[in-house]
Amino acid sequence: MFKYYGKYAPYLFLMPALIVLVIFFFIPFFQTFALSFMDYSNSIYHAQFAGFENYTKLFHSPIFYKVLLNTFIYLIVAVPILAIVPLFLAVLLNRQIRGVTLYKILIYLPVIVSIVVAAIAFKWLYADEGILNFIVTTLGLSKIGWLTDPNWALYSVIIVTIWKGIGYYMMIYLAALMSVPKELYEACEIDGAGFFRKHLTVTIPHIMPTIALVTTISAISAMKVFAEIYVMTKGGPLNSSKTIVYYIYERAFENLDLGFASAMAVVLLVIVLALSLVNILFFEKNRYQI
Amino acid sequence: MKKLFKNLPIHIILIITSILSIFPFIWLISTSLKGNSENIFAYPPTIIPTDFTLANYTGVWDKVNFIGYFVNSMIVAGGTVLLNLILSSMAGYPLARMEFKGKKITFFAILATIMIPFQAIMLPVYLITLKLHLVDSVNNFAGYVGLIMPFAVSAFGIFLMRQAFLGIPKEMEEAAIVDGCNVFQIFTKVLLPMVKPSLAVLAIFTFIGSWGEFLWPSIVLTKDAMYTLPVGVNNLQGMFSSNWRFIAAGSILSTIPIIIFFLCMQKYFISGENEGAVKG
């Protein structure tokens, strides 16, 4: 086919999107590094060059390590559950049974509802005199300070993230399951394989790339949690539920220490870039072919 | 009947999961419908209100500008969707159908933005937005633009549209050229109508994302009159401190529009045909 478009046409079409990306992605990306070397603690309008001071402060701050640890706990608790439970549900829903659409709608509902409303709903479940403590005390245990006990707060917040993510990843798995050839299951059944055997030998190997994808997406989103924490605990008590993004927000917009917050943002950037690179290099090579 | 019995364990698991998925809302609705004479901390808790009332809804409706929040959310989500559709399809078109210098580098530059989380770059984004005077303290219009622009286009959208354009047979363009169409006519009259399903997927997922966005508006917004629904709902906690009846009623009210949207569009969410719509 001959070139029916002018020399500048491709650039004209690309320009609006590129302008937005440059202003709101590329410049901020480099500026994040630049800001992390500036001192804004006196005034946000008069920054001074600070060298590595923000990083020194960051690496000497016990809260920084607490925040990293909390984020790491978030990852190791939420990611395996979000990779496995939705897969299990998707396998159950990937068949002609009565009410399958209704089940899908109900399980997907938490995904579309605003995270703020979800966090408020859970805050109410977690109330000191709330329904969860009623269940706990009925079982003969003592009340739990779901959001007020430093040993519990982080896990209570993680539960909300998991609850809100299950339906989303379930739909990704359901889409992937549609591509598994039915004949393989039939062959399995002829061999007399049971439910677990069948899915271990056919389903899981077949959708391995999707499992990897879900693992990376859920890991990256666990790195980015904010609203749950903002609405439910504000990172407390005693920093016990503070994660990276909440800490960035707090330092930047409550303490107005943009330099320190940017150093923290660089740490986040490095971690997420590493996770994404692993994903793209190993699992998604084929998704983005030019 | 036999089949139902065989599937019984599956149904039990799915019913339990479904109940767990909606119980937090059920409990919130239950609380929102309880009158002042009913103890909302009663042991044992009651799901069905004994002192049934809608007073919490009318009460919170009178005190909180829900219509305003709703309109703000509609403007922001609508603007974000519109810009995403236009910018993503415009950018996806040359990446799919044209040869030009710098194509590869453009492609990888856009790809790279997938890996940059907004949360990591939000501080400079905030400073830039301030510098461009796109904040609500300037005027409402600037406020809306500031809420929309950082999310006006995404690599996800561009790649989704590029993928859609790649699937169109070359003969379509050739026929249009013979008919005397120029490049803009080919784009708007021939190609765009053929990628409507992808545009729909992009519109719906962008809408849901924008509608629920909380971090960015809570950073840039300063005026109550400009609040979007999530920011307004979070604010209920401060307004009614421990009046959980009002907080519950307000949260439920704010959720009604998106539930209606979801139920109308459910086939896009649960048909399993949105494999391409996986967002990173």
- pLDDT (tens digit, 9 = 90+) per residue, B26-81? 999 999 999 888 888 887 888 888 889 999 999 999 999 999 999 999 999 999 99
Return all residues near B108 (Cβ < 8 A) that are at least 6 apart: none
- According to the model, what pLDDT value does residue A58 have? 92
For residue B139, the surrounding DSSP H or E stretch is none
- According to the model, what pLDDT value does residue A200 have? 83
- Chain B residue with CA closest to A101: the answer is B270
Query: CB–CB of B90 and A265 under 8 A?
Result: no
Stretch B213-235: mean pLDDT, rounded?
94
CB B171 within 8 A of CB B177: no
Considering only A69-78, A207-216, B186-195, which range has the smallest mean pLDDT? A207-216
Cα–Cα distance for residue pair B272/A215, rounded to 1 Å: 19
Residue-wise pLDDT for B118-152, tens only, equals: 999 999 999 999 999 999 988 999 999 999 999 99
Query: CB–CB of B94 and A249 under 8 A?
Result: no
Please determine, for residue A108, whether its predicted confidence score (pLDDT) is greater than 60: yes
Who among B11, B31, B187 is closest to A124 (CB)?
A: B31
- According to the model, what pLDDT value does residue A287 have? 55
Domains located in chain A, CATH noted? 50-282 (1.10.3720.10)
B186 burial level (CB within 10 Å; 0-12, 13-18, 19+): buried
- Chain A residue with CA closest to B93: the answer is A13
Cα–Cα distance for residue pair A201/B263, rounded to 1 Å: 36
Who among B211, B233, B272 is closest to A120 (CB)?
A: B233
Stretch A230-243: mean pLDDT, rounded?
92
Who among B45, B94, B270 is closest to A134 (CB)?
A: B45
Cα–Cα distance for residue pair B203/B118, rounded to 1 Å: 20
Query: CB–CB of A230 and B275 under 8 A?
Result: no
- According to the model, what pLDDT value does residue A98 have? 86
Query: CB–CB of B120 and A134 under 8 A?
Result: no
CB B175 within 8 A of CB B186: no
Return the structure tokens found at A218.
């859920």
- DSSP code at position B88: H
pTM: 0.89
Q: How many CA atoms lie within 13 A of A277 on its CB side?
A: 6
Query: CB–CB of B124 and A32 under 8 A?
Result: yes
Query: What pLDDT band is residue B277 in, cutting at 50, 70 and 90?
Result: very low
ipTM of the complex: 0.88
Cα–Cα distance for residue pair B83/B218, rounded to 1 Å: 22
Cα–Cα distance for residue pair A40/A96, rounded to 1 Å: 60
More confident residue, A247 or B277: A247
Which amino acid type is present at position A215?
T
B38 burial level (CB within 10 Å; 0-12, 13-18, 19+): middle
Strands A48-49 and A38-39, sheet pairing = antiparallel
DSSP-derived secondary structure for chain B: -HHHHHTHHHHHHHHHHHHHHHHHHHHHHHHHTB-TTS-TT-SS--SS-SSB-SHHHHHHHHHS-HHHHHHHHHHHHHHHHHHHHHHHHHHHHHHHH---TTHHHHHHHHHHHHTS-HHHHHHHHHHHHHHTT-STTT-HHHHHHHHHGGGS--HHHHHHHHHHHHTS-HHHHHHHHHTT--HHHIIIIIIHHHTHHHHHHHHHHHHHHHHH--HHHHHH---GGG--HHHHHHHHHHHTTT-HHHHHHHHHHHHHHHHHHHHHTHHHHHSS--GGG---
Cα–Cα distance for residue pair B221/B228, rounded to 1 Å: 9
Percent of chain B with pLDDT over 70: 95
Cα–Cα distance for residue pair B46/B37, rounded to 1 Å: 14
Please determine, for residue B98, whether its predicted confidence score (pLDDT) is greater than 70: yes
Report the mean per-residue pLDDT for chain A.
Answer: 89
For residue B48, the surrounding DSSP H or E stretch is none
For residue A38, the surrounding DSSP H or E stretch is strand A38-39
Return the structure tokens found at B150.
């950082």
At the topology level, CATH places domain B75-227 in: MetI-like fold (1.10.3720)
- According to the model, what pLDDT value does residue B56 have? 93
Domain map (residue ranges) of chain B: 75-227
- According to the model, what pLDDT value does residue B274 have? 46
- According to the model, what pLDDT value does residue B176 have? 87
Query: What pLDDT band is residue B4 in, cutting at 50, 70 and 90?
Result: low
Residues of B in contact with A225 (CB under 8 A): none
Please determine, for residue B280, whether its predicted confidence score (pLDDT) is greater than 80: no
Please determine, for residue A1, whether its predicted confidence score (pLDDT) is greater than 60: no
- Residue carrying the six token digits 């508006």: B217
Q: Does A274 reach chain B within 8 Å, measured CB to CB?
A: no
Query: CB–CB of A16 and B91 under 8 A?
Result: yes
* A 106-125 residues with CB < 8 A to B: 106-110, 112-118, 120-122, 124-125
- According to the model, what pLDDT value does residue A283 have? 66
Residue-wise pLDDT for B238-271, tens only, equals: 888 889 999 999 999 999 999 999 998 888 877 6
More confident residue, B104 or A209: B104
CB B210 within 8 A of CB B151: yes
- According to the model, what pLDDT value does residue B71 have? 96
Residue-wise pLDDT for B150-178, tens only, equals: 999 999 999 999 999 998 888 888 888 88
Residues of A in contact with B7 (CB under 8 A): 97-98
Query: What pLDDT band is residue B188 in, cutting at 50, 70 and 90?
Result: very high
Which amino acid type is present at position A41?
S
Cα–Cα distance for residue pair B262/A104, rounded to 1 Å: 12
Residue-wise pLDDT for A150-199, tens only, equals: 999 999 999 999 999 999 999 999 988 888 888 888 888 788 777 788 88
**A135 φ/ψ angles, rounded to the nearest 5 degrees:** -60, -45
CB B225 within 8 A of CB B65: yes
Angle formed at CA B102 by CA B151 and CA B119, multiple of 5 degrees: 25
Residue-wise pLDDT for A75-107, tens only, equals: 999 999 999 999 999 999 988 888 899 999 999
